[in-house]
Amino acid sequence: MRSPVTEERLRDFMKAVGARAREDGRIYLTGGASAVLHHWRASTLDVDLKIIPENDRILRALPELKEKLQINVELASPADFVPELPGWQDRSPFVASYGLISFHHYDFYSQALSKLERGHRKDLIDVEAMTAQGLINPETLLALFEEVASELYRYPAIDRSSASRRADRMPRVLPAGLLIAAYLIGSIPFSFLVVKLMSGADIREVGSRNVGATNVARSFGKLPGIIALILDMAKGYVAIALAKWVTASPNWPLPVGVDASPLHSRAFWIALAGLVAVLGHMFPIWLRFHGGKGVATATGVFLGLDPIALLAGAIVFAIVVISSRFVSLASIVSSASVPIFLRFLTHAPFWAINISIVIAIAIILKHHANIARLTQGRERKMGGKEE
């Protein structure tokens, strides 16, 4: 069995082919060769290629080069699986020239369509990597598929409806999975679980009935409160860490920038995962959507987004608590201050700032009862007795 083909071995093969050529020609690389040259795979088992025009001298040399270089070479291209897309040669990016041979990647839209038609896991990962690197655009891919739909009868193995669904669904699977995961992480009711495990009580029936660390600390003591606080903060931080990892993965299906449009902004997806985690804490499915006010989870989110902005917000929290002794007021003011610090202190990405504003608004709205008591002079102060 021949060893995997790395980029170095692939280029050695290309040079050897170029040295054998005696007339101009093009060779289109596809499949694993394109993946290796674009670095979303470290190696491939086969080098698939198409020679245009057919070159008898190169064709006769291939068996010898395969043995000499210990590389498996196949004459294969997307056109063996799907109809040729219009303009595919013009969309085939140049790789390098060796001797009289010009090497190109076979049109990535054609590669993507043939991989979607096969539908194997590795093929779908390749398509996601092509999208993440900006080599294809999902909308253009779907439009090109429709252009050749009338020729699909020549390829009986293709199920037109399933291939179309794959092309249309492909860019949405991983982002949706990220948001679902962020919600499930945020919805873990640690304050409820800590109290239930340590005392057997239901936090929803004690004190302010809020499923949050403050109510845990006031009703059951500092230790349970601190444990609940740390775990609730960890939820937000983990959601941000997960989003950073997923959006940096070569499997992420959307081209990403910093302050690009929402769908193509990595900062947007990272901050959105944080917002969803906070909403998961506020409305956990496990407790019939009766959750906490989101301050601790938002703290973890802001820590993951920008520790400096969070530190500035923590200073605001401390100042308000010391001066007023109202934890609720400090939570509201400090939450509202973080987007300001993100904008003017740390100059965070556009979408991180805007989504942090939404998080702050959600926290303020969740404190509506506290705001009413503050205006009526009935809000409980830190260390004070409940009325």
Task: Check pLDDT > 80 for residue 257.
Answer: no
- Residue 154 is predicted with a pLDDT of 61
* Same domain, yes or no: 177 and 150: no
Measured distance CA(223)–CA(133) in Å, rounded: 48
β-bridge partners, 66: none
The arithmetic mean of pLDDT across residues 156-161, rounded, is 52
241 within some domain: yes
* Same domain, yes or no: 60 and 107: yes
* Same domain, yes or no: 326 and 253: yes
Domain-terminating residue out of 108, 128, 158: 158
The arithmetic mean of pLDDT across residues 126-146, rounded, is 83
319 within some domain: yes
Task: Check pLDDT > 60 for residue 41.
Answer: yes
> What is the domain range of residue 97?
7-158
- Residue 387 is predicted with a pLDDT of 44
* Same domain, yes or no: 200 and 339: yes
Residue-wise pLDDT tens digits, 374-387: 999 888 887 655 54
Determine the Cα angle at 66 with ends 38 and 23, to 5°.
Answer: 80
- Residue 138 is predicted with a pLDDT of 80
- Residue 259 is predicted with a pLDDT of 52
Residue-wise pLDDT tens digits, 21-31: 999 999 999 99
Mean per-residue pLDDT over the chain, rounded = 88
The arithmetic mean of pLDDT across residues 215-226, rounded, is 91
Domain-terminating residue out of 158, 187, 214: 158
Measured distance CA(353)–CA(40) in Å, rounded: 31
Flag the least confident range among 65-74, 170-179, 238-247, 280-289: 170-179
* Same domain, yes or no: 78 and 147: yes
- Residue 164 is predicted with a pLDDT of 55
Determine the Cα angle at 172 with ends 166 and 177, to 5°.
Answer: 120
362 within some domain: yes
pTM, two decimal places: 0.60
168 within some domain: no
DSSP character string of 229-263? HHHHHHHHHHHHHHHHHHHHSTT--S--BSSS-GG
167 within some domain: no
177 within some domain: yes
Q: Is 271 or 247 the better-scoring residue by pLDDT?
A: 271
234 within some domain: yes
* Same domain, yes or no: 284 and 357: yes
Task: Check pLDDT > 50 for residue 179.
Answer: yes
Q: 215 with 206: CB under 8 angstroms?
A: yes
Element (H, E) at 103: strand 101-105
Number of domains in the chain: 2
Under the banding of pLDDT at 50, 70 and 90, the label for residue 32 is: very high
